[in-house]
Copies of this chain bind each other. A is one copy, B any other.
Amino acid sequence: MGKDSVLGTDVVAQIGIIVKDIEETSKAFADFLGVDVPSADWTDAFDKAQTHYQRNPVPSRARLAFFEMGNIQIELIEPDENPSTWRDFLENHGEGVHHIAFVVNGMKQVVARMENQHMPLVQKGEYEGGRYAYMDTEKPLKVILELLEND
Contacts and interface: CB of A to CB of B under 8 A. Distances in A.
A12 B71 contact: yes
Interface residues of A, number: 39
Given A12-B71, A72-B71, A143-B97, A6 B29 contact: no
A7 B142 CA distance: 28
A112 interface: no
Interface in A1-31: 1-7, 9-12, 15, 17-19, 25, 28-29
Contacts of A142: 17-19, 25, 95-97
A121 to B, nearest CB: 16
A67 B145 CA distance: 16
B96 A11 contact: no
3 A-B pairs with least C-beta separation: A2-B34, A4-B34, A97-B97
21 contacts: A2-B33, A4-B34, A6-B33, A7-B32, A7-B33, A9-B70, A10-B69, A10-B70, A11-B69, A11-B71, A12-B15, A12-B70, A15-B15, A25-B141, A28-B140, A32-B140, A32-B141, A93-B94, A95-B142, A96-B96, A97-B142
Interface of A: 1-7, 9-12, 15, 17-19, 25, 28-29, 32-35, 69-72, 74, 93-97, 100, 117, 137, 140-143
